[in-house]
Structure 1
Amino acid sequence: MRTSRPSSAALSSHLDFLSKLGSNESVVYLDETFRREGDHNEHGFYSVCGVVLQGQHIFTMQDDLREIVGGNYWHATEALRDGRTDVFLDMLEHMRSHPTMNIIVATTNVDGSDEQAMEKARHQVLSELLIDLTNADKSFRGAIMEQRDNRRKNNSDDAFIRNLRLEEKISPAMAFKLISPQIDRNLWLPDTAAMAYRRTITHPYNETSQWFGDYLQKFSHVTVLNENTNPDPRVLPIMSERMKKIQNDP
């Protein structure tokens, strides 16, 4: 679904944040994917996918993505629905060929389908991912996530992040930005990666279930918070070589 044009102030503020990042400092771009319990008579799950980029690659990546997609709009779900499989795979290939990109996924089963259960699961996996990244990458400076469909939900996320800071589980200086993909095209990265991961759960007998393993597995770290979420044996909580390098040489 296309959204209204972002304000110039929001764009200027975000560009200012990105431009002040050091070349080796990193941010994580986040997106969620979920299924409510009972949809198609299946169990519920909630996953957050993070794509870690260094400052030196952020603006180049934005240009690359526009060239791959052929415009300024992308939504992974719509791309698969509309038969743009070739572009989807081009996105995955570009991610696979990147020299320093890392992917982190946190996922959990959800008992219940009401909003409270989904919000609890969202914050559970989001905290797992951000705490893991904070501990693994000393150059980590901020998280960027697509803004939600109403202010109340955005406020819920902001309050949750404030609590993590107060509890000293993440750095007090860690930025948390809820923005539109129209402001930062790099949000297309976790949108695509999250869809590839989702397919390992929702379409286990479909060709698309292979894509996460084929393209993204080698530089991904997946944390499954329970034992039943992930039926694909190739998608395991293995620290990638890139993530090892971040830990050993921050």
Structure 2
Amino acid sequence: MLARAYLRAPGGYVAFLDETFQLDDSSPARAEFYMLSAVVVHRDDLGGLRSGLRKVVGGPFWHTSEELKTPEGRARAREVAEFLGDPEGNEVGIVAIKTPVAEGAGDAARAACFQQVGKALCTGGGLLADSGVHLMVLEQRRMQRNRSYDTSIVKDLRKGGVLCRHCHMIQVSPSAEHLLWLPDLVSSAVRRHHLGQKGDVDLYAPLARILRVTNCS
């Protein structure tokens, strides 16, 4: 399914999407937010990027927040950031942040971030190709209710004219597409940089050149 979708992607570009959020206000030192990150790759680069990423990671599993818990993991996360941000690469990152988030408004915040990222991808220009990006591969959430909600977001954005009729979304597990590790890393990097959670390793600096970060109103 994925391979066929990549071949059919208009213009050849694919956006890999992942989220991060903090919706628990129990800690006054941590602001509530929702963030959606997209990493855009041309289909001609998918194979090389995937194999290079696996080589850096050194295994079949990646979750940035888990890696950041150990010195070895933090060093590996920095390596992944440098790999993605390589000046010779062609990848681009688009990130939307919604903060603050009102109590019980997590779904609305996700929809707002999806609208901002989706519009940027579909419209193109700037760091992106002028023809835009019309295939989105989203990390699949565990619950069917959440997966259905994400499908409805895309339908509503298409109905409202934010996304064109060529835009398409596929929800898959990172185990099926390891390139979903990349927006996971980007989300952690932007979260730590923009929301004052830098910690012991700077993941943002190697990526700054390829990122466009915006705030949702």
Is this a same-fold pair by TM over 0.5? yes
Give the superposition deviation at 1:204. 4.3
Counterpart of 1:110 in 2: which secondary structure?
A: coil
**Length-normalised TM-score, structure 1:** 0.78
C-alpha separation in 2, matches of 1:76 and 1:143:
21
Question: Is this contact kept in 1: 2:36–2:187, CA < 8 A?
Answer: yes
Runs of 4+ in structure 1 off by over 3 angstroms are: 19-22, 201-208
Higher percent of residues as helix: 1
Judge conservation of contact 2:121–2:134 (CA < 8 Å) in 1: no
C-alpha distance 113-146 of structure 1, shift in aligned 2 (>3 A): same
Does 1:29 pair with 2:16?
Answer: yes
1:76 is aligned to 2:64: yes
Which shifted more, 174-183 or 197-206?
197-206
Indicate the residue corresponding to 1:56 in structure 2: 44
* Structure 2 residue 203 is the aligned partner of structure 1 residue 211: yes
Do residues 111 (structure 1) and 104 (structure 2) align?
A: no
Alpha-carbon distance in 2 for matches of 1:205, 1:48: 18
- Which residue does the alignment assign to 1:244? none
Q: Give the Å deviation of 1:188.
A: 0.4
In the alignment, the residues of structure 1 paired with residue 7 and residue 178 of structure 2 have an alpha-carbon distance, to the nearest angstrom, of 15
1:216 offset after TM fit, Å?
Answer: 1.0
Q: Residue 183 of structure 1: which of 148, 160, 176 is its match?
A: 176
CA-atom RMSD in angstroms: 1.8
Question: Of 89, 99, 121, which residue of structure 2 is paired with 1:99?
Answer: 89
Find out whether 1:144 has 2:137 as its counterpart: yes
The match for 1:248 is none
CA contact under 8 A between 1:37 and 1:110: conserved in structure 2? no
1:62, 1:31 → 2: CA distance?
Answer: 17
Deviations 1:40-89 (A, max 9, x none): 21321111111111111112111111111111111111111143112101
Cα distance, 1:110 vs. partner? Answer: 3.4
| 2:25 aligned partner | 38
Matched-pair contact (CA < 8 Å) for 1:37–1:111: no
SS at match of 1:105: strand
Correspondence for 2:75 = 86
Equivalent AA in structure 1 for residue 134 of structure 2: R
- Contact 2:77 2:203 survives alignment (8 Å): no
Percent of residue pairs bearing the same amino acid type = 22
* Equivalent position SS for 1:221: strand
Tell me the number of residue pairs that the alignment of Structure 1 and Structure 2 aligns: 209
Report the residue type matching 1:17 in the other structure. Answer: A
Q: Which runs of 5+ in 2 are unaligned?
A: none
CA distance in 2, matches of 1:49, 1:131: 13
Residue 146 of structure 2 corresponds to residue 159 of structure 1 = no
Higher relative contact order (CA 8 A, sep 6+): 2
CA deviation map 1:29-48 (0-9, x unaligned): 11111111514213211111
Cα shift at 1:152: 0.5
